Amino acid sequence: MFRSEYLNNVYNDFLKKNPAEPEYQQAALEILESIEPYVMKHPEFEEKKLIERFLEPERVVQFKVVWTDDKGKFQVNRGFRVQYNSAIGPYKGGLRLHPSVNASIIKFLGLEQTLKNSLTSLPMGGGKGGSDFDPKGKSDTEIMRFCQSFMTELYRHIGPDTDVPAGDIGVGGREIGYLFGQYKRIRNEFSGVLTGKGLSYGGSLARTEATGYGLCYFTLEALKKLKNTDFNNKTVVISGSGNVAIYATQKATALGGKVVALSDSNGYIYDPNGINLDVVKQIKEVERGRIKEYVNRVSGATYTEGSKGIWSIKCDIALPCATQNELSLDDAKLLVANGVVAVCEGANMPCSLDAAKYFIENKVVFGPAKAANAGGVATSGLEMSQNSMRLSWSFEEVDEKLHDIMVNIFNNSYKEALEEGNEFDLLTGANIAGFKKVAEAMLLQGI
Ligand code: NDP
């Protein structure tokens, strides 16, 4: 599998230690394949067991979350916090609330987060957490009781200089508010222990928009460098209709693109005239409804049941912003046959590894998640700075810093890709650029 015998042994051992964890195995394989040329230049890694140490989370916490629903019935869920790597700063990464959440998914996300946070050049280690709780269809008070119960255990593992969680799938401003309120109550402490907070209690302007905006800044930079083009007059397809998808739609449109499709886990909408984002925001952010409702409000739009079909729509730019493994090799072939120019990942690991490789082979601009969607955590880092300094920057200041960070992430990934001999291989570039700093910090700190 690997040219390096060392990596073969490490990965085989990793598979034995983490059986039945397909997402975690997939993420580790992708990273190891990418960093292999760098590892081979550093024989001291083997002696110091650096890769084995890198692939072992520093701490994995699993706990029960018991709460009562509106009918007074007891409910039991499982909570997780994986503190993956703190070599370059306090653990940092989101909380995901979705029925699919398990140890494999949280570990894969924690591993990815470690390299992503390193790429931002801010001092943040990697972590991730969540629960198999399904927020869909729950009342506000049920969400609150769940969040309070979740934090009643989580609080002992986190802190502004230890581990700073944020949002992810199913966790937005409302959930962060309830989690923060409970942390403050238990600790009697008002601190920057979570990011993605409301503006009235320490949140940062532009945090809500940051992942989607950052994705478009990265895509634009890559389009300019690799294809000498931009978003102008490009047809864009975006999957999902949550936080990342909505603000990617907003920025892609502002940059001159026409977004024609969005989805949720039930199906996708197609609007040849360009998505009306006000309607989407009303449905998703205010009413918390389903995306199919869009076609009842906008004439000329159609809805198709089943979310996978979205990649059959002809487009120049595809931005998968829903969830892991939502874009397969067959989807990649369809997109390439339809002339796609760029595919940049808003979600974490939305493309299977063979799909990602197919894009790179076909000289499609491919923006890997840990680089392309790092804008969210970067802005969380900026929120932490503002909290520590007890001040707040304007929207424009934060947006400008976000833009600079995304350009910097692209440049660093591009530089490493060039060094490895393929300027289109930003996957290798991002993995090496992110890993270098973590490896150096781990070595300097001893065991
Ligand atoms: P949200 O919960 O706001 O939205 C998720 C969206 O994806 C929803 O529209 C959801 O639909 C849809 N979705 C989920 N599963 C599927 C599926 N199998 N097929 C099609 N659509 C699906 O989450 P976010 O927008 O915050 O996160 C989206 C992705 O971006 C995740 O991979 C996350 O890890 C990643 N990310 C998020 C960041 C952030 O700042 N929020 C930062 C970096 C990465 P439904 O309502 O039907 O479930």
CB 149 within 8 A of CB 75: no
Residue nearest (by alpha carbon) to ligand 1 atom 16? 265
Do residues 185 and 226 share a domain? Answer: no
Q: What is the mean pLDDT of the chain?
A: 97
- Tokens for 110? 């924690």
Residue nearest (by alpha carbon) to ligand 1 atom 43? 373
Q: Could you tell me if the CB of 244 is within 6 A of ligand 1?
A: yes
Binning the chain into helix, strand and coil, the percentages to the nearest 5 are 50, 15, 30
Residue that is last in its domain, among 159, 189, 219: 189
Catalytic residues: 128
| Owning domain of residue 33 | 5-55
Structure confidence by residue, pLDDT tens digits, 237-249? 999 999 999 999 9
pTM value? 0.96
**pLDDT at 324 exceeding the cut of 90:** yes
Do residues 96 and 139 share a domain? Answer: yes
- Tokens for 439? 């490896």
CATH number of the domain enclosing 137: 3.40.50.10860
Q: Would you say residue 229 lies in a domain? A: yes
Q: Would you say residue 295 lies in a domain? A: yes
Do residues 33 and 66 share a domain? Answer: no
Do residues 138 and 225 share a domain? Answer: no
The region that residue 446 occupies, defined by phi over 0 for left and psi between -120 and 50 for alpha, beta otherwise, is left
Q: Would you say residue 74 lies in a domain? A: yes
Do residues 257 and 278 share a domain? Answer: yes
- Per-residue pLDDT, averaged over 13-37, amounts to 97
Do residues 217 and 360 share a domain? Answer: yes
Do residues 236 and 90 share a domain? Answer: no
- Tokens for 354? 């063979």
Q: Would you say residue 336 lies in a domain? A: yes
- Tokens for 36? 């292999």
- Per-residue pLDDT, averaged over 94-105, amounts to 98
CA of 334 to the centre of ligand 1 (A): 23
Q: Would you say residue 439 lies in a domain? A: no
Do residues 14 and 138 share a domain? Answer: no
CA of 215 to the centre of ligand 1 (A): 14
- Mapping DSSP onto H, E and C, the string for 52-71 reads HHHCCCCEEEEEEEEEECCC
Do residues 46 and 69 share a domain? Answer: no
Q: What is the band of 1 on the pLDDT scale with cuts at 50, 70, 90?
A: confident
Q: What percent of the chain has pLDDT over 90?
A: 100
Q: Would you say residue 407 lies in a domain? A: no
What is the tally of structural domains in the chain? Answer: 3
What is the position in ligand 1's atom list of the atom closest to the CA of 310?
Answer: 20
Q: Would you say residue 435 lies in a domain? A: no
Residue nearest (by alpha carbon) to ligand 1 atom 42? 376
Half-sphere exposure of 220 toward its Cβ, with a 13 Å CA cutoff?
Answer: 21
Do residues 268 and 300 share a domain? Answer: yes
